[in-house]
Amino acid sequence: MYRYDEQDRQIMQERVAQFADQTQRYLAGELSEAEFRALRLMNGLYFQRFAPMYRIAIPYGMLSSGQLRMLAHIAHSYDRGYGHFSTRQNIQFNWCKTEDIPKIFGLLASVEMHSVQTSGNCIRNTTTDPLAGVAPDELEDPRPYCEFIRQWSMFHPEFAYLPRKFKIAVSAATQDRAAVQVHDIGIYLVQNAAGETGFQIWVGGGLGRTPILATRIRDFLEKPHLLSYLEAIVRVYNQHGRRDDTNRARIKILVRDLGAEKFAELVEAEWVKIRDGVLKLEDSDLQRMQTYFTTPEYDAGAAADSRFAAQLESDKAFARWVRYNVVDHKQPGYKAVYISLKAPGIPPGDATHEQMQALADLADRYSFGEVRSTHDQNLVLADVQQKDLFELWQALEEKQLATANIGSLTDMICCPGLDFCGLANAGSIDVAEKLNERFDDMDYLYDLGELRLKMSGCMNGCGHHSVGHIGILGVEKKGQEWYQITLGGNASNDASLGDRIGPAFDKAHVVDAIENIVKVYVDNRESEEERFLDTYRRIGMEPFKARVYAQEEAA
């Protein structure tokens, strides 16, 4: 993974000192609440319902075991013992004290981490495929490009006060595991007719109040131009994006209002003026960056192991975990392992400091000391030998980290909701818990297959409800918490936005509604292989609607 050099260290130390000074001036009354607001947000510090929330960047989801231990330490010493992994592959703490933040920032810097631009109207943490570098369906490792984007976007003097937040995702695999098309800029690594690898550029995707999928504006961009092209897009956005209404300030609205074609013209016109300027990357730059993301020293004989096959045969629970949480690896004899942070009774995405410590140790023992976070709020050990899987599974079981539910209904994405967030209109964690109770029959859950349920506690859509196969959106009506349900959303290559099923449900009925929706699927699917999403796309909304509201009336 990327390691800081002298320049990275210098810049981060200076930033820590700068933010410590800003915090001190705020606490001393020299900076007003309003003035400090923009500054603290750009450093990941929110003031919310009960205590400040502090969001720490995990650049494109990569964590070393040492970094994870530091997060465990922060959770233990400065929070209430746990952290929450977010849909931006970041982690946030909900109970830190404002005056402690500069100190925590310093601790982060000591392990080459930071909280810069994890909020505010600026370019946020770039996200990618959690299987980057190990996926069999990958064209090329996307992480060197993510790191280029990380550096280019960090402390960018021109783009610190954009109309609104700005998110970039990169994917290099056949299957999009990074939800590229719901980003302000989405980048796919692709090959052109000549067999060269470059970038396909999409813009104007985003969730929230007005969910819109991104549009492709460039089929192929040569590698040296990555940064100049991004700069052209963001400059056009900074000059033309709306600032009069927060809900119309994202780049998706600009692209929609201008039309993607016109927007692309503006970008190209800007880009031709800078494409051969200082931002142009040289081959040596690309090569230097790639040296940070080399293949670890795999055991060439790993595939010769026969224990794994025997263990699969003899232990049903293990086999089930492997089936759901373990995926193929490009290296024979190795697997990538999803660590579910969706155990029943635990808010989705939460991990305790003991769990983080244990995972850091397991990463050292089994996976070259690295852990990744995923945009669906789980973790990944990306380089595990198949012969070690059984032991790893047992160790994970002990720490409640072996819930075998990846991709299933209970592997839901969920924002912190009304319990923590100052913006939320409705609780989401308690609904998640009720869903877990309702769908506690694991066999039934497995029978349902891949079913992506995503839930947000308000319109801002942090829980990505618009692209859930089943989406749940919490809304407030007359002081009550209500839930709107959408069906048919999807964040992968064939991305789609969910359709609203009808009137919202109150808290007492939302779980019944979900159960009925699931029953309609089971009754209508053509085979066990047909996923919920495919059944929905085939049969449409009517059968779901009929069942769900018939039950409502009878109730």
Partner 1 sequence: MTLPLSKRVIRDRQIVEDPWLHLADEDALPESGDITVSLERWQSDNDALKAYAGHVGLRLDSDTDVEETGLAINDIPLIVLDFPIIDTNKRGYHPVGKGYSQAYLLRTRLGFKGEIRARGPAVMRDVLFYMSRCGINSFEMDESKDINDALKAFNEMTVAYQPSADSMQPAFMRRRNTAA
How far CA 493 is from CA of 44, 173, 213, 374, in Å, comes to 30, 10, 11, 17
Which of 349, 328, 353, 354 is CA-nearest to residue 339? 349
Q: Give the total residue count for the chain.
A: 555
Size of the site for partner 1 (CB under 8 A): 50
Interface region with partner 1, contact rule CB under 8 A, candidates 78-86, 273-281, 326-334, 405-413:
273-281
Q: Tell me the closest approach of the beta carbon of residue 213 to partner 1, in angstroms.
A: 25
Q: H-helix or E-strand containing 480? A: strand 480-487
Distances (CA, A) of 387 to 181, 308, 310, 313, 365: 37, 5, 10, 14, 13
**How many Å apart are CA 180 and CA 517, to the nearest integer?**
28
CA distance readout (Å), 361 to 326, 381, 383, 521: 19, 11, 14, 42
Helices (H), 167-315: 226-240, 251-258, 260-274, 283-290, 307-314
Interface of this chain with partner 1, residues 306 to 345, rule: CB under 8 A: none
- The candidate with the shortest Cα–Cα distance to 254, out of 268, 236, 241, is 241
* Among 246-254, 328-336, 449-457, 498-506, the segment contacting partner 1 (CB under 8 A): 246-254
80 vs 240, beta carbon nearer partner 1: 240
Of 7-15, 293-301, 481-489, 513-521, the window that binds partner 1 (rule: CB under 8 A) is 7-15
When binding is defined by CB under 8 A, the residue of 37, 537, 545, 547 that contacts partner 1 is 37
∠ CA 406-473-416, nearest 5°, is: 65
**CB nearer to partner 1: pick between 243 and 262:** 243
Residue of the chain from 53, 217, 281, 362 that contacts partner 1 (CB under 8 A): 281
Q: Which of 3, 29, 34, 529 binds partner 1 (CB under 8 A)?
A: 34
Please identify, using beta-carbon distances, which residue of 7 and 306 lies nearer to partner 1: 7
- Residue 288 binds partner 1 (CB under 8 A): yes
Q: How far is residue 24's CA from residue 47's CA, in Å, rounded to a whole number?
A: 16
Estimate the share of the chain in helix, then strand, then coil, as percent rounded to the nearest 5: 45, 20, 40
Residue whose C-alpha is closest to residue 268's, from 212, 240, 228: 228
Q: How far is the CB of 316 from partner 1 (least distance, A)?
A: 52
**Residue selected from 285, 419, 512, 530 as contacting partner 1 according to rule CB under 8 A:** 285
Minimum gap (Å) between residue 417 Cβ and partner 1? 20
Interface pick for partner 1 out of 131, 134, 173, 249 (rule CB under 8 A): 249
Q: Which is nearer to partner 1, 238 or 492 (CB)?
A: 238
Q: How far is the CB of 273 from partner 1 (least distance, A)?
A: 7
Element (H, E) at 31: none
Q: For residue 170, give the H/E element and its range.
A: strand 168-171
In angstroms, rounded to a whole number, what is the distance separating the alpha carbons of residues 463 and 493?
Answer: 19
Site for partner 1 contains 257 (CB under 8 A): no
Smallest distance from partner 1 to CB 153, Å: 8
* Nearest one of 245, 84, 169 to 467, comparing CA atoms: 169
Q: Which two tokens stand for residue 338?
A: 């999803």
Which span sits near partner 1 by CB under 8 A: 97-105, 133-141, 242-250, 512-520? 242-250
State which of positions 211-230 bind partner 1 (CB under 8 A): 227
β-partners of residue 487 are 470, 499
Decide if residue 425 touches partner 1 (CB under 8 A).
no
Between 21 and 506, CB nearer to partner 1:
21
Considering only residues 143 to 162 of the shown chain, the ones binding partner 1 according to CB under 8 A are 148, 151-152, 154-162
Contact residues for 508 (Cβ-Cβ < 8 A; gap 6+): none
Binding site for partner 1 (CB under 8 A): 5, 7-8, 10-11, 14-15, 17-18, 21-22, 30-31, 34-35, 37-39, 121, 148, 151-152, 154-162, 227, 235, 238-239, 243-247, 249, 273, 277-279, 281-282, 284-285, 288
